Structures are given as C-alpha cells and as structure tokens.
Amino acid sequence: MKKLLALVMALCMLCGAAMAEGTSAQEGVYTYNDYLTLSPSNWNELTYQDNNDTEIMSYIGSSFFTYDFKFDEYGEIIPGEFEIIYSAATALEDVTAKYAEAWNLPADGKGYAWKITLRDDLKWENGDPIKAEDFVYTMSEQLNPLFQNYRADSFYVGSTIIANAASYVKQGQSVVEDNSATGKYTVADLVKGEDGVYTQPDGGKISFALTTGLDWCGGKTVTQYSAYLDADAFAALQGLADENGLVAVTDDTIALVTKLIDTDNWGHEPPENVPYYMVYEFTYGAMDFSEVGIFVGDNEYELVVVLEKALDLLKEDGTLSYKAAYNFSSLPLVHKATYEACKIAPTEGVELWTSNYNSSKETTMSWGAYKLESFQSGTQFVLVKNENWYGYGLPENEGLYQTDRRVVNIVKDWNSAWLMFLAGEVDGIGIDVSVADDYKGSERAYFTPSDFVSSMQLQSNVTELKNRETEGINKSILGYADFRKALSLGINRADFTTQCTTSSKPGFGLFNSMHYYDVANGGVFRNTDEARQVLCNIYGVDATQYASLEDAVDAITGYNLDLARELVTKAYNEALAAGDIKETDIVKLTFGTGSITEAVTRQVNFIEDSWKKMLEGTPLEGRLEVEVLDFASAWANDFRAGKYDVCMGGWTGAAWDPGYFLLAYLDSGYMYSKAWDTANTMMTFTMKGVAEDGGDITETMGLLDWYACLNGTGKYDWSSNGLPQEKRLQLIAALEEQVLQVYYTVPLANSFSASMLSYKVDYITYEYNTFMGYGGFKYMTYNYDDAQWAAAVAEQNGELNYK
C-alpha cells in the first residue's frame, strides 16, 4: 500500500513539473493559437486539393494585387467597400497590341496579353531572389504533362486561360472530340478509304456516336433520345456499333443517320446536320514550353502572360479592376532548387511523376508574410514571421501584422477544442449547436455569412423511383411536381434554422446575399427587383399587396400547410388515377448522407416531423416513413444515379458570377437532379433592349441554350463581355425561377457560421466584408502578449467565462 501511495505521489509530482514547464509564455510575443480538425498534407500550389491545405499555403505566398479595406477620411472602414492595391507587383500593363501578331491575338483586342512588373526586392525565406523567370519555370512545372498536376486546369479551364496551356498539358494524349462542339468536319472534309470507311484527312478515326454525350444533344446521348428518332435506323446503327457505341462512317451509315434524324418528333433535321453526330480521335502533338503564353518580358522583373480569353484587369482610368485580385491575384511559384529535389519518379506500373514539395518543413519554402517553423502531421504546425518578406518594409504596413506566430494544433474532437478555448489555449473556434444557446449572445461571438445555400434535393429519376418500389412501398409520388412543392411548403424554414443550425437563416433562392452580379459596383443579385420577383413568384406572394418588392420578400416564410395539403391531395389523386400509387401504399422516402452524424439526424428528424404534420388531413396521413442511409463518399453520385430519394446538398463557389454558377443546376455533369432534361425544357424569354434597333429579343429555347447565351457560348453573346450586368441579371433570374419551380432543389437555409474569438485578440471590424473578411492577420490586434495572456488565464483559474 505504501508503495502504491508513493507511486501516486511521484506521478502527481511529475504532472506538476510538466505543467510548470508548459507555461513558458514570452513577453512581447504575440501568438495566435488556432486549431484544425484535419492536418494539411500538401500546400503545394501546383497540386493542393483541399481548403485545409490553404491553411499553410495562403500564409507562405504573396499576391501581385490584393484586396484591401477602403477607409474614409477619418480612417474608418467603409462598410462593404474595397480597393485593389499592388503588392508583389508594381505595375500592370495591357500589352495586347505588342504581342497580337506573334500570338494571333485580335489586332484591336484588349486584355489578351498582360505585362506584370514585379518588385525587385522579392525574396524567398532563405534570401534567394525572385524574378520573372521563377514564375515561368513554375508554370512549366504546373503544366508539365508528366505530372498531370491537380491544379493545371486552373490555367486552361475557367476564366484565366493561358495561351496553349491545354495543348502543352495534353501533349501526347489521345482524346475523343465531339464534332458538334468543335464544328471541325463536314462530310465533304472526310476521306473515303478503299474499304468504304471515311476517316479524317490525316487518317484519324471518325465515327458516329450512339452512347457518347454530344453537345448537339445538350450533353446527352443519341441512345437517350432514341424514342424520338427513327426506330429502324437506330436499331440498324446499334447493330453496327462497337462496344463503345461507335459506328464507322460509311455511305450506308450516313444514310442511316440521315434517316434517323428525319422524324416528326425530332423536327426533321436536314442531312447537313449529320456530322453533328460524329466524334473523332485527336492526338495532341509534342510542343515546346516556349509556345505557352508566359515568358519573361524586356527585363528580368517583367512577366508577360498571354491569354486565350481576354480579361479586363484594368479600369478605364488605368487603376486595377476587381478582376485583377479575383482572376489574377497571383501565379503559382515554387523554389526551383527545392522543387527539383522533391520530384519523385514513377515506379513499377505507374507513369505519373509526383512531388512532395511543400509537404513538410524541410520541403517548404516561403515568399509570404509567414514561414513554416515546424510541421508534424496530425499534431501541430507553427508559422512564424518571414523576415525576408518584402511587405514588412512597406510604409503602408507599418503597425500591422502584429501576430508573430500562429500555432495550429490538430484537434479532431470539437469538444476537446472547446475546452482548450475555455482554457485559453485556442483563440478562435466555431460555435457548435450544442452550446449555441449559451454562447450565441456572447460579446465575443461573431457571425460569418457564406455563399452556401443549404438545400434539400429531391430525386428526379422517375424510372429509378419506380424500380426501387417494393410491395406496399411507394416512391413514385415524388415524381409529381405538386407533391415536391408540398414537401417544400411543409417545412418551416425559420424553425429549421433555429433548431438544426447554429446561426443560419432561412433560405429561399438558389442565391443568397453573398452572390454578386456586379462586383465592381457592389451589386448583390438577391437585392435586385428581378431576383425578388422570382421569390415572390415561387412562394406565391402577391407583390402588389406590399409597399415594395423588398417588403414582399420579407413576408415570405416558405411555409404554407394549407396549400401544401391541397397539393398533396391533388398529386395523390393524379397518381392514383395513373396507377402510380395504391390506396394501401406507404410512401417511404430514403434520405442519403455521407455520414450519419448528430447534425444529420437532427435535420432528418425535423424534416420528417414537419412532413408528417403537413400530411395530416390528406389521403397520405400516417402513410409516410423516412429512413436515413449512409452512402459514404459516394452519396452525391449515388443520388445522381437515382439510388435514393432525398439528400441535403448545395454548391459553393463562383459567388461573383451567378450566371456561371447556374451550371450547377442546369448541366447534367453537376446537377443533383440529373434526370431533369434541361436541354429540352423550353423557356420563352424576352431580353429587353438588346436588339440592334434597341428593341427586345424574344425567343424560345432550351434552358441549357439560354445558359450558353448567358456565358457567351450560345446563339447570343450575353456574357459579361457582351452585355451590361443589369441586363444579364434578367436572364439569371429567369433561369433561377425555372430551377426553383420544378422543386428538385428546395432551398432551406442561407449558411452563416457562428464563431468566438478569445479576449486575447480582436479583428479590426466585426462587420463581414466579402472581399476582406474581418481583415485577417494583417489587421488583427492583440489585447495581451503571450505572457500577459498566460497570467490572465491563470488569474481566472484556467477557465475563462465567455457567456
């Protein structure tokens, strides 16, 4: 017993000694203690995949141009406004005219070639100088075809397309091109071989495609539209197709395709359209990196970038436009010697080169405000000031960047992190719903809006709904739009956000207050009359009854049990008449998720209770069952494939380009409601005042065609380059309404995250600025240094009160 006592005492002494060691906080040092649930793994700009990786990456890099707060004459931040400032660059010049001939740019074009003049004092953390050639080298590695780097497509997909970047990355690759998308060949262009099979002029294969998605068919395949086409011709072509659904082009098959598309249901397409059903093989040839549009300019600090799509990075007055910081804030940069040393050659059976650059302390090099002091995967990393960063010497940064160190612990359990926050060991944390009631009102709480609209997705694949029915179990009723609308109206969004989220607010549209249709002028889409009218139309609010559209929108709750019950009854009777439901059937809806967490369970329970209440007094009262299944990482693809009925999902990104963002709801490559045929869902729309004579243009087209117009690839160029934003938003609003009114996507909540900041630090503002957030480390100020903070926490007996 004595020995045991001695052992316990020794253990306590050890603990005490260890604790004493841990309190060696320094005076005059300002440390921001943070936590993450997942450890970053790869903060290499060329290959990073997660936001988690930016937790290091964004601190060790710099920008040519960056956003900043706009201050008034008294030094106060002007809410919602911003300015763009030069940072690592000192000048930006449109040099399109100079390089137009050499790079085949439009002679009178603007915004295709840009010269960036770099500061001459840019350095790596080890003191190595940074010049334009470093950016050129990095881009050659970014686009290196041997690596197929994850971020390579950032420079040939989207808005920043460097000339010939795609061809360089894909050299040696054979791809199948859609002739209807490229418009490359007519039948006359093809060469007929001795065997009667047509080929491309260079001998490459060309075929009719039965099972390949074609641009001409709105991304869908000929087989998917076979019901509208000539049955005999389709059967004959199917008989000739190979395992990939490709049919050789011969005189016979040309005749068959001509017959195939010449039907009433297909609109009697003329024979000239036959090539639109062809695909051809294309192999990218070898090329030198010098043919890619990035090179050193007239001196070693001048970097020239040639683009395939023009960008207006400068305003008329020559100052930086918001796109300079949005599309062109920086280009990737790696430290050449370190990067070369980190290359990993392919091994047995693998052809891919990889790299472990920026994946540990030893392989990391910074040219940003902070550098990596230590990194231990799964445990902790520490960033400290990079004394070689050019920014610390700038007069405009005097008094800023007070943070000396950022210590980030990896804490997977929120409850553990919360205790660390209350013990003063973590300085910022998100508020979990379990403590929200106690801490939402804290003076240290703040709320950050997000562009994410949490939405309920309802299954669009009627065939799969039917296939998954069993005796007595019905799912087909979900195929009725009235039923889906009733499910939407049966949810009280205000209660949903209060009970199931920490701080989100009811959401009604695809877009929320974070989506800007006109960034330069601060134009928020949701605040326009067009967008407001959409919500009034969808939720049945008569705007004429209110003083303004804004008031009408404020009155929307999205909750109407009476109307929901009417709609359920109507849908049920129609389904009964059509034989889609029996009087004894139970409607069983399966919720799918990536992981059945407490939050998911809470949401599903709320929705189930809401729906059961909504069904009271209808023929489906007491006949609804809801189950939740875990589909792990395949949850989204499984939903798209029609394997279950309901999921919660939404999209984030492109918040400053809602016209592009609609892709998520209209393109089958992204849509949750994949079975909804947006190519053939027709919409008649009038764009006011855009005809050559100043009149309106009215036309009926498929939704995808309208989307193409909105993004400059359709019949009309109504992209931001071709039309003023005020006009474009008419079409954005019309398309939003089309998506909402089919009720496959039911918006429920506009996401807000609630967070707490410790007494140790303060942001410069607690009013969220879309462009600057709360100012970040640049503007963060400290109320205590490390030693003072340790003393303050000790004074509170190691337990801080934030209520």
Partner 1 sequence: MYMAKYIGKRVGLMIITFLIIFVTCFVLIKLLPFDDTAGFGQDTEKIRAQFRARGYYDPIPQQLVQYLRRIFKDGDFGIGFNIPEYRGRYVWDVFVEKLPPTILINVYSSLIAVPIGIALGILAALKKNKWQDHVISTGVMVVISVPSFVYGSLLLFLVCFKLDLLPLKMASFAEIIKAYPAENYVYTPGSANWPLFFNQKMFVSMLPAVFAMSFGSIAGYARFTRAELTEVLTSEFMLLARTKGLTKAQATTRHALRNAMVPIFPSIVGEFISVLSGSLVLEKIFSIPGVGGLYLSAINANDYDFFMMLSGFYLLVGLVASLVIDLSYGVIDPRIRMGAK
Cβ 539 to partner 1, closest distance in Å? 28
- Min CB(158)–partner 1 separation in Å: 5
Q: Taking each helix axis from N to C terminus, what angle separates 529-538 and 725-740, rounded to the nearest 10 degrees?
A: 10
Q: How far is CA 745 from CA 97, 219, 624, 658, 674, in A?
A: 47, 21, 21, 16, 11
CB of 437 to partner 1, least distance (A): 19
Cα atoms found within 13 Å of the Cα of residue 172, Cβ hemisphere only:
6
Site string for partner 1, 112-151 (x = CB under 8 A): ------------------------------------x-x-
Minimum distance, C-beta of residue 318 to partner 1, in the bound complex (Å): 30
Structure tokens at 630: 């875990």
Binding mask 203-242 for partner 1 (x = CB under 8 A): ----------------------------------------
**Shortest distance (Å) from residue 203 CB to partner 1:** 22
- Write the DSSP assignment of 73-86 as a string of letters: TTS-EEEEEEEEEE
Question: Which of 21, 27, 194, 398 touches partner 1 (CB under 8 A)?
Answer: 21
Residue 9 binding partner 1, by CB under 8 A: no
Q: Judged by CB, which is closer to partner 1: 63, or 355?
A: 355
| DSSP character string of 190-202 | SEE-TTS-EE-TT
Q: Note whether 510 and 739 are within 8 A (CB).
A: yes
Per CB under 8 A, which of residues 374..413 are in contact with partner 1? 374-380, 382, 409-413
Question: Cβ contacts of residue 296 below 8 Å, gap of 6+?
Answer: 131, 132, 133, 136, 302, 303, 304
Q: Answer whether 671's CB lies under 8 Å from 678's CB.
A: yes
Residue with tokens 């909540």: 749
Structure tokens at 672: 């949750």
The single residue listed with the structure tokens 């065997």 is: 195
What tokens appear for 246 in the block? 């490709």
Cβ contact 655:451 at 8 Å: yes
Candidate segments 339-347, 465-473, 578-586, 686-694, binder of partner 1 by CB under 8 A: 339-347
Q: Which residue type, as a one-letter code, is found at position 318?
A: G
Name the residue nearer to partner 1 (CB basis): 51 or 265: 51
CB count within 10 Å of CB 527 equals: 15
Please enumerate in sequence order all residues whose Cβ is within 8 A of that of 625, keeping only pairs 6 or more positions apart, or say none: 586, 587, 588, 589
Q: Pick from 316, 348, 562, 583: which binds partner 1 (CB under 8 A)? A: 348
Distance CA 671, CA 673 (A): 5
Residues 33-62 that bind partner 1 (CB under 8 A): 38-42, 44, 47, 49-50, 52
584 binds partner 1 (CB under 8 A): no
Decide if residue 354 touches partner 1 (CB under 8 A).
yes
Give dist(CA 670, CA 493) in Å, integer.
26
104, 319, 637, 783: residue in contact with partner 1 (rule CB under 8 A): 637
Q: Which range in 113-121, 369-377, 522-530, 689-697 contacts partner 1 by CB under 8 A?
A: 369-377
Please report whether residue 664 would count as binding partner 1 according to CB under 8 A.
Answer: yes
DSSP state of 428: E
Binding mask 171-210 for partner 1 (x = CB under 8 A): --x-x-----------------------------------
User: Does the footprint of partner 1 cover residue 450 (CB under 8 A)?
Assistant: no
Query: Any contact of residue 355 with partner 1 (CB under 8 A)?
Result: yes
In the complex, minimum distance from the CB of residue 175 to partner 1, in angstroms, rounded to a whole number: 6
Question: Interface with partner 1 by CB under 8 A: which range of 116-124, 168-176, 498-506, 570-578?
Answer: 168-176
Q: Is 688 in the site for partner 1 (CB under 8 A)?
A: no
CB nearer to partner 1: give 302 or 425: 425
Residue 579 has a CB neighbour count (10 Å cut-off) of 8
Q: Which is nearer to partner 1, 558 or 592 (CB)?
A: 592
Binding to partner 1 by residue 373, rule CB under 8 A? yes
Reference 402, options 787, 769, 785; nearest CA is: 785
444 counts as binding partner 1 under rule CB under 8 A: no
Instruction: Output 133 or 464, the one with its CB closest to partner 1.
Output: 464
Q: Which is nearer to partner 1, 668 or 751 (CB)?
A: 668
Tokens 């603007």, residue located: 110
Under the criterion CB under 8 A, does residue 669 sit at the interface with partner 1?
Answer: yes
Stretch of 16-24, 111-119, 702-710, 766-774 lying at the interface with partner 1 (CB under 8 A): 16-24
Q: Is 795 in the site for partner 1 (CB under 8 A)?
A: no
Q: Is residue 156 a contact point for partner 1 (CB under 8 A)? A: yes
Q: Check binding of 15 to partner 1 (CB under 8 A).
A: yes
Answer for which of 521, 548, 616, 670 binds partner 1 (CB under 8 A) is 670
Please state the closest distance from residue 40 (CB atom) to partner 1, in A: 8
Quick one: 637 or 741, whose CB is closer to partner 1? 637
Q: Return the ∠ at Cα 375 (arms to 373 and 379), rounded to 5°.
A: 135
Q: d(Cα 443, Cα 466) in Å, to the nearest integer?
A: 53
Give the integer Cα–Cα distance in Å for 646 and 588: 11
Smallest gap from Cβ 27 to partner 1, in A, equals 17
- Rg of the chain (C-alpha set): 30
Among residues 46, 88, 54, the alpha carbon closest in space to that of 367 is found at 88
Candidates 219, 103, 262; CA nearest to 674 is 219
Among 632, 682, 691, 791, which residue sits at the site for partner 1 (rule: CB under 8 A)? 632
Is residue 352 close enough to count as binding partner 1 by CB under 8 A? yes
SS3 category, 701: strand
285 lies in the binding site for partner 1 (CB under 8 A): no
The 3-state DSSP class for residue 553 equals helix
Amino acid at 645: D
347 Cβ partners below 8 Å, 6+ apart?
none
Take residue 388 and report the two structure tokens written for it.
């070689």
| Identified binder of partner 1 from the candidate list 107, 188, 350, 547, rule CB under 8 A | 350
| Residue 28 one-letter amino acid | G
Total number of residues that touch partner 1 (CB under 8 A): 81
Distance of alpha carbon 429 from alpha carbon 665, whole angstroms: 33
Nearer to partner 1, 378 or 694 (CB): 378
Q: Which of 192, 361, 613, 715 binds partner 1 (CB under 8 A)?
A: 361
The nearer residue to partner 1, 56 or 233, going by C-beta atoms, is 56
Nearer to partner 1 (CB atom), residue 196 or residue 669:
669
Smallest distance from the beta carbon of 267 to partner 1, in angstroms?
Answer: 30
Residue 40 tokens read as 């970053």
DSSP code at position 690 = -
Which of 470, 544, 584, 633 binds partner 1 (CB under 8 A)? It is 633
Instruction: Pick from 18, 102, 286, 577 the residue near partner 1 by CB under 8 A.
Output: 18
Q: Which of 377, 345, 374 is nearest to 361 (CA)?
A: 374
- Smallest gap from Cβ 191 to partner 1, in A, equals 26
Provide DSSP, 102-168: TTT--TT--SSEEEEEEPTT-B-TTS-B--HHHHHHHHHHHT-TTT--TTGGGGTSSS--BTTHHHH
CA distance 491 to 608: 9
**HEC letters along 313-380:** CECCCCCECHHHHHCCCCCCCCCHHHHHHCEECCCCCCCCCEECCCCCCCCCCCCCCEEEEEEECCCE
Question: Least distance from C-beta 427 to partner 1, angstroms?
Answer: 14
3-state secondary structure of 63: coil
CB nearer to partner 1: pick between 236 and 629: 629
CB of 213 to partner 1, least distance (A): 11
The least CB distance from residue 115 to partner 1, in Å, is: 27
Q: Which stretch binds partner 1 (CB under 8 A): 300-308, 397-405, 416-424, 779-787?
A: 416-424
By the rule CB under 8 A, 17 interacts with partner 1: yes
Should residue 158 be labelled a site residue for partner 1 when binding is judged by CB under 8 A?
yes
